Amino acid sequence: MHLASKLSMRFLSVMATVLAASSLTCAQSSIAIDTSNSNVWTINNGPLTVQWMPGNGRIFSMHWSAFPSQELVDQTNRDRNGPKGFYMDNVASLGGPTTPGYYLDPNGNYIDFWIAGPASSNAGFSWSWHDVLFANDPGVHIYFVLDHGPGDAAASVGQIQWVFRGDLNQFTNTYDVNTGLGNLGARAVPTNLAFGDGGRNVQDATVDLHGLTQPSGFRRSFYTKYDYSSYEYLHHSQGVYGAAMAAWMVLPRSESLTGGPTKQDLIFTNNLLIMEAYSNHLDNQIAFNVPQDAVLHRLYGPFYLHFNAFNPANPTAASLYAEARAASEQFKPLYDSEVELLNSGYVRSTRRGEVDVQVEGAQGLAPLSGWAVLSDPNTNFQYSHAGREYWQNLNPAGLATFHDVVPGAYRLSVYVLGEWGEFRTDGVQVKEHSPTHVSVSFTPELFGSFAPIWSIGASDRSSHEFLHGTVANPIELDPNYTDQYVNRLGNPLQDDREFWGNWNYWTDFATNQGAVVYYATSVGGTPATNDLTQWNYNQWHIFHPGLYAGIYNTADQTTDGYNYVCPSYVGLFGACATALVPDWQVHFTTTSDQQAQGRYVVLSVGLADTEADLTISLNGTPLNWTGIHFADADVRSGFSGTYQWVVFQWPASSLNTPGADNILTFHVDKTQGVMYDALRMEIASNSAAHESTGWNDYEFVASGTFEPANDTINNPN
């Protein structure tokens, strides 16, 4: 263990000894702590009375002075230690004996209490999990610290997550705001608690609700936590509320999140309020591995669990959300003097810097189209995890300003939704106090000198524009909520993120016996399709989602209900369990002028999610791409996981004569297939190979050639 960790653990050990010897009750201002019971500490900051397990770290009981007789924590969901309450659900190389401790501010402004664990031979991290109560604040501030250094074993992080299990009768509805660029506004969703049993649990955390009584306003046939994940683009807070009060999980700063603005994280599971700082949800191969002896310090948080209640000043859920956001802003200056938080690596606002980014070529963009990201150096921002990360929307002048940036070295990435390509430059140095000015140029990456032969979809890193991707005027939109995005852009459409069994692929494409057949241009007497609902949001290899069979046959309590709705043309009863979805087809023609544009046919394929290898054939000439960076948004109610761009290239001689039908076939080899972002066909005079273009942000596939994307270098190089 390195020196800082040893000193920290020595301090914790001394503190524990003092506490055991004195069993004191301290009070400064409105904060009091009672440690006389070694199994339960009771802490009061005025509004809140908290009962905390020093041997476990969880808060298992909370009372708010505004409702003194009401328990805020669900007392029915328990384990051998009692109610689960407000706790962490981490997956990491953690272990060993834990030690409790606390620091009571001499001025009585706050109390920071924690449990901590040392590194060991099989648990490479030393760590501490902190709760903070500020005087007269109806809320709990949380953060988590990891340390690793010389002498520590190899370690890894799989998940850093807090969970609040609120009282089931008080916190009955969920409320989220701006959970994606296609999910602007606020949703107020009633929680369905009558889930039933048997074969209704049709997938991880996914319950089939067919035949159950559902509350008014619940429009879905399934309940799954993945429906309510949030892209981090605009995510600031989410909450649960009931008839009298609400609880909100607020992000004062998003800098300790991972995976960037496109990352989707869980925010609800039924009535559970979640703060997920790090996970591989919908981004499977994001990894945080620390080698033996490597030096690392990582702070997650602080985040803020805030309680408030309906009153004449705040009569709606929207106003309670706004109050929680405003309350969180008030604590940013107070974090600057929180001793334990500062000792854990939090950087005071007075020691932070500013980054001004000017992007040539990104002027006049539509709102929320252009994005700049500061992240781990030499890393695709989707996999940024070791350091702090920041993102900003480019304004119409192509400018973005990052405030309160912790000093250090960053990669700057710039991308524009609707354009192909990503600008990347490493070595952006941020210093204390002084602003850093960066001027860069974004140029869309086109391989040909002429307009594309055709395109399908918009290159916006999502498949939401295809069949089943959107829902019009969803009934759960809260009419009381408004902000600058809703005022400017409205919210008539939202991403229809739902469990994949909500739809029936084989029925949707019965006309072509289960195949997508799309005409990218007119071919003979067949007009161009020009209808993105004729392109499914996901290309499945096998489509057989779990469904509750009892709704079709009361004697069948399995999850094999899809057998009863699988169309007969696929085969006999049960055929859909193994039937392979036919390859998809794209038909198109070219003109003589187009074929004269160059020697290469270049097909760009943007993948919003990948769970399979993809083979594309042009007029019978196949090129195979072996899937990498797997993600599972397709079966986790998402429309994007890990974005990848794959470029397939054939010689122009592979095209049929001008005016004749050309056929592209698309084949996937694993059950969940791939999710398309967009496709673009060009004819180019020069090869799309990296050494020809100088671009490195895509995979390149040609006959006998594969060049992986190189995320470790600048782009263009």
Q: What is the dihedral of CA 215, 218, 224, 229, to 10 degrees?
A: -130
pLDDT over 80 at 193, yes or no: no
Per-residue pLDDT at 217: 81
Distance CA 520, CA 477 (A): 35
CATH number at residue 375: 2.60.40.1120
**E strands in 541-599:** 584-588
Per-residue pLDDT at 158: 95
DSSP state of 543: -
Q: Are residues 668 and 650 in the same domain?
A: yes
> Residue 354, Cβ neighbours under 10 Å: how many?
16
Per-residue pLDDT at 717: 85
Q: Are residues 245 and 357 in the same domain?
A: no
DSSP state of 406: P
Residues sharing a CB contact under 8 Å with residue 339, sequence separation 6 or more, in sequence order: 103, 105, 112
For tokens 């909100």, what's the residue? Answer: 248
pLDDT over 80 at 684, yes or no: yes
Q: How confident is the model at residue 196 (pLDDT cuts 50, 70, 90)?
A: low
Residue 687 belongs to some domain of the structure? yes
Distance CA 437, CA 429 (A): 10
Per-residue pLDDT at 332: 95
Strand order from edge to edge, sheet including 699-702: 454-456, 674-684, 600-610, 644-651, 699-702, 705-707
DSSP state of 656: P
Do 21 and 100 form a contact (C-beta atoms < 8 A)? no
Distance CA 2, CA 186 (A): 46
Residue 459 belongs to some domain of the structure? no
Q: How confident is the model at residue 248 (pLDDT cuts 50, 70, 90)?
A: very high
DSSP one-letter string for 484-511: HHHHHH--SEEE----GGGS-HHHHTGG
Q: Are residues 519 and 656 in the same domain?
A: yes
Q: Are residues 326 and 382 in the same domain?
A: no
Query: Phi and psi for 603 in degrees, rounded to 5?
Result: -110, 115
CA 669 vs CA 506, 540, 611, 616, 624: distances in Å = 18, 9, 9, 12, 11
For residue 716, say if its preceding peptide bond is cis, omega within 30 degrees of 0.
yes
Do 547 and 640 form a contact (C-beta atoms < 8 A)? no
Residues sharing a CB contact under 8 Å with residue 305, sequence separation 6 or more, in sequence order: 86, 139, 140, 141, 142, 162, 164, 247, 248, 249, 250, 273, 275
Residue 455 belongs to some domain of the structure? no
Q: Are residues 539 and 602 in the same domain?
A: yes
Residues sharing a CB contact under 8 Å with residue 429, sequence separation 6 or more, in sequence order: 408, 409, 436
pLDDT over 90 at 16, yes or no: no
Distance CA 555, CA 561 (A): 12
pLDDT over 50 at 2, yes or no: no
DSSP state of 198: G
Q: Which contacts of 345-349 are long-range, i.e. CB under 8 A and separated by 24 or more positions?
A: 345/145, 345/297, 345/298, 345/299, 346/143, 346/299, 346/302, 347/406, 347/407, 349/404
Nearest to 437 by CA among 405, 396, 479: 405
Per-residue pLDDT at 408: 97
H or E stretch covering 318: helix 317-335
Give the total number of structural domains in the chain. 3
pLDDT over 90 at 7, yes or no: no
Query: How far is the first Cα of the chain from the last one, in angstroms, to the nearest whole number?
Result: 40
pLDDT over 70 at 159, yes or no: yes
CATH number at residue 616: 2.60.120.260
Structure tokens at 18: 């003092």
On whether the pTM is more than 0.85, the answer is yes
Q: Give the mean pLDDT of 618-634.
A: 94
pLDDT over 80 at 8, yes or no: no
**96-105, 211-220, 239-248, 264-273: which has the minimum mean pLDDT?**
211-220
Do 509 and 520 form a contact (C-beta atoms < 8 A)? no
Residues of the chain above pLDDT 90, percent: 89
Burial category of 82 from C-beta neighbours within 10 Å (exposed 0-12, middle 13-18, buried 19 and up): middle
Q: How confident is the model at residue 491 (pLDDT cuts 50, 70, 90)?
A: confident
Q: Are residues 651 and 627 in the same domain?
A: yes
Q: Are residues 329 and 402 in the same domain?
A: no
Residue 574 belongs to some domain of the structure? no
Per-residue pLDDT at 66: 97
**1-10, 151-160, 608-617: which has the minimum mean pLDDT?**
1-10
Distance CA 585, CA 696 (A): 29
CA 585 vs CA 260, 601, 648: distances in Å = 34, 17, 16
pLDDT over 60 at 15, yes or no: no
Residue 360 belongs to some domain of the structure? yes
Q: How confident is the model at residue 308 (pLDDT cuts 50, 70, 90)?
A: very high
CA 618 vs CA 165, 517, 613, 700, 703: distances in Å = 54, 15, 17, 16, 12
Distance CA 631, CA 286 (A): 9
pLDDT over 90 at 270, yes or no: no
User: Where does a domain end: 343, 366, 394?
Assistant: 343
Q: Are residues 591 and 686 in the same domain?
A: yes
pLDDT digits (tens, 9 = 90+) for 48-89: 999 999 999 999 999 999 999 999 999 999 999 999 999 999
With helix as H, strand as E and coil as C, how does 4-50 read? HHHHHHHHHHHHHHHHHHHCCEEEECCEEEEEEECCEEEEECCCEEE
CA 306 vs CA 95, 246, 250: distances in Å = 30, 8, 7
Distance CA 255, CA 688 (A): 36
Residue 604 belongs to some domain of the structure? yes
pLDDT digits (tens, 9 = 90+) for 31-40: 999 999 999 9
Do 482 and 490 form a contact (C-beta atoms < 8 A)? no
User: Where does a domain end: 412, 441, 470?
Assistant: 441
Per-residue pLDDT at 711: 96
Nearest to 341 by CA among 304, 293, 373: 304
DSSP one-letter string for 258-311: SS-TT-EE--EETTEEEEEEE--TT-TT--EEE-TT--EEEEEEEEEEEEEE-B
- One-letter amino acid of 165: R
Burial category of 157 from C-beta neighbours within 10 Å (exposed 0-12, middle 13-18, buried 19 and up): buried
Residue 60 belongs to some domain of the structure? yes
> Residue 395, Cβ neighbours under 10 Å: how many?
14
pLDDT digits (tens, 9 = 90+) for 413-438: 999 999 999 999 999 999 998 899 99
Q: Are residues 308 and 381 in the same domain?
A: no
Full domain range(s) for residue 603: 503-543+581-707
Per-residue pLDDT at 285: 85
User: Where does a domain end: 397, 419, 441?
Assistant: 441
- 400-414 burial by CB neighbour count: b if 16+ within 10 A, else e? bebeebbbeebbbbb
Structure tokens at 360: 């040539």
Q: Give the mean pLDDT of 706-712.
A: 97
pLDDT digits (tens, 9 = 90+) for 84-118: 999 999 999 998 899 999 999 999 999 999 999 99
Distance CA 460, CA 181 (A): 10
Q: Are residues 81 and 13 in the same domain?
A: yes
Nearest to 386 by CA among 152, 148, 641: 148
Longest dimension (CA), the chain: 91
Distance CA 637, CA 537 (A): 11
Per-residue pLDDT at 10: 34
Q: Are residues 279 and 377 in the same domain?
A: no
CATH number at residue 39: 2.70.98
Q: Mean of the per-residue pLDDT values for the chain?
A: 93
SS3 call for 638: coil
The percent of the chain in helix, strand and coil, each rounded to the nearest 5, is: 15, 40, 45
Residue 207 belongs to some domain of the structure? no
Q: Are residues 532 and 676 in the same domain?
A: yes
Q: Give the mean pLDDT of 609-619.
A: 97
